[in-house]
Amino acid sequence: MPLVAGSVAALACVIVGVLVVVGVRGRVEDYDRQQTTTAALRIIQMIKRDRLPGQLPPTEGIEAAEVLDARGRVVSATRDLIGKPPIASFVPGEDTVSAYRVLCPPHGLHGCMDVIAFRVFQPDGDWTVYAAERAGPWYASGPLLAFLLATGLLVVLLTVVLTRRTVDRTLAPVNAIRSELAEITATESARRVPVPPVKDEIRHLAETANSTLDRLDAALERQRRFTSDASHDLRSPIAGARTQLEEALLYPDQADWPRVAQNVLVSLDRLNAIVTDLLALARLDASSEAGDDEVDLALLVSTELARAVRDTHTLTDLDQGVVVRGDRLQLARLLTNLLTNAERHAASRIWVSVAAEGDDAVLTVTDDGAGIPPQDRELVFQRFVRLRESRDRDPTGTGLGLPIAREIARSHGGTLTLADSEQGARFVLRLPRVRPVKGRGTR
């Protein structure tokens, strides 16, 4: 790429240089020729008025001038040409009054000059006036053009070489990053790309790549831990059912088959609950988009509380018209999981509230149980994690209810956290609120 860019730049430099110098030179030549012509016409005016002196005075626009009579003799000239032969021998054609030449040099002068010849009609024959001026200034000369082009090409070539070295040196860390990324696999996710010492965009790229790899590594670690925990939790009911069946089959005549069947059904129910929750988590992980239903949280809470008979007394404080947008079934699942968790740990009462706070819809579920220590508040949202009290109160739980609730909140653009409470655990759900449109009721 630097070579191609350099070639294009060199070609553009040559073209622009030629056009500029040719244009400047043409304008300068036109101006000089006009000045020389004007000076020659002044001399012709002297001839016509019969006021031609033997020595022509200095005239602006020319460096030297001569007047030749009809016999070709010099009858008048500027001081430098007094007593010298004619500076040129060309004359205008029969059908023109002027002619123009570049002489290098004219007779009796030095250097290249623009010489113009005028035919002057006189009674004794045609006279000739020669006027000479230096051929163009230094900045419009051909050698200068060649020098400038050569210098420009040299500069472009040096720029190409330096640019190529700079690009190679700049891209070296990128190649190192690319090579390291190509070597990173799921089994070697702890590797990181090298970070250049210079604080530039490449360093920022490497740091961003390493941050992304850190997150991916953490996600892989969670996946490995999740797979391990899921395997353990799935094996437990299967192993329990298998053990009971094998014991019964060893002594089939002595086995209490109805009791064995009942115990196996309990294990199958636990297995079914785990599989159902795993499928729910898999669907939430695979889809980041929620539904588009407008859900009134107060109505949702009232419906869910009326749908199931609960052993714990539930108190409500529900503001009407607090509406969110999402999947009604998923939000109902979230609320059910929170209520089930609160009922499991409550001593006697559960409080459920719905309120609007600015742009947020806030739903809280609080129980009057023992509560959750601050250091364990994030732990309960990890998959298959169950605190000792939870295992003691409900040994058949899956440890996936709260993680599912948080994933549903996340997919709806909200948060589910544990907040401080004077007694028990207080779960706070915040979701973006849909503001009612004026002149239109809210469902």
Q: What is the CATH number of the domain that holds 34?
A: 3.30.450
Per-residue pLDDT for the chain (443 aa), expressed as one digit of tens each? 556 666 676 677 667 766 766 666 667 677 778 888 888 888 888 988 888 898 888 877 788 999 999 888 999 999 888 888 999 989 998 888 899 888 888 888 888 888 999 999 988 889 999 999 887 655 556 676 677 778 877 887 888 788 878 777 777 777 777 777 777 765 666 777 788 887 777 788 888 888 888 888 777 776 776 676 667 667 777 888 888 898 889 888 888 888 889 888 888 887 887 787 777 777 776 665 667 889 999 999 999 888 876 778 889 999 999 999 998 988 998 999 899 888 888 888 999 999 999 999 999 999 988 888 888 888 888 877 766 666 555 555 667 888 889 989 998 999 999 998 888 899 999 999 987 655 544 43
Query: Of 260, 286, 312, which marks where a domain is finished?
Result: 286
Torsion of CA 368, 370, 375, 377, to 10 degrees: -40
Verify that 116 and 216 share a domain, yes or no: no
What CATH number is given to the structural domain containing 266? Answer: 1.10.287.130
In a domain, 28, yes or no: yes
Question: Do 68 and 109 have their domain in common?
Answer: yes
Model pTM greater than 0.85?
A: no
Is 345 domain-assigned?
yes
**Sheet containing 64-68: order of strands:** 74-77, 64-68, 125-134, 113-122, 98-103
232 in a structural domain: yes
Q: Position of tokens 């001593």?
A: 347
- Cβ density class 6-15: b for 16+ within 10 Å, e for less: beebbeebee
302, with CB counted inside 10 A (0-12, 13-18, 19+), is middle
Query: Are the beta carbons of 345 and 308 closer than 8 angstroms?
Result: no
Residues of the domain holding 200? 184-286
358 and 245 within one domain: no
Q: Based on the domain organization, do 23 and 126 belong to the same domain?
A: yes
State the residue for tokens 């089994």.
187
Pick from 49, 53, 86: which is nearest to 68 by CA? 86
Residue 244 CA to residue 213 CA, distance in Å, equals 46
Alpha carbon of residue 426 to chain centroid: 43
Number of domain units in the chain: 3
Can you tell me the distance from the alpha carbon of 197 to that of 203, in angstroms, rounded to the nearest whole number? 7
Statement to judge: residues 124 and 13 lie in one domain: yes
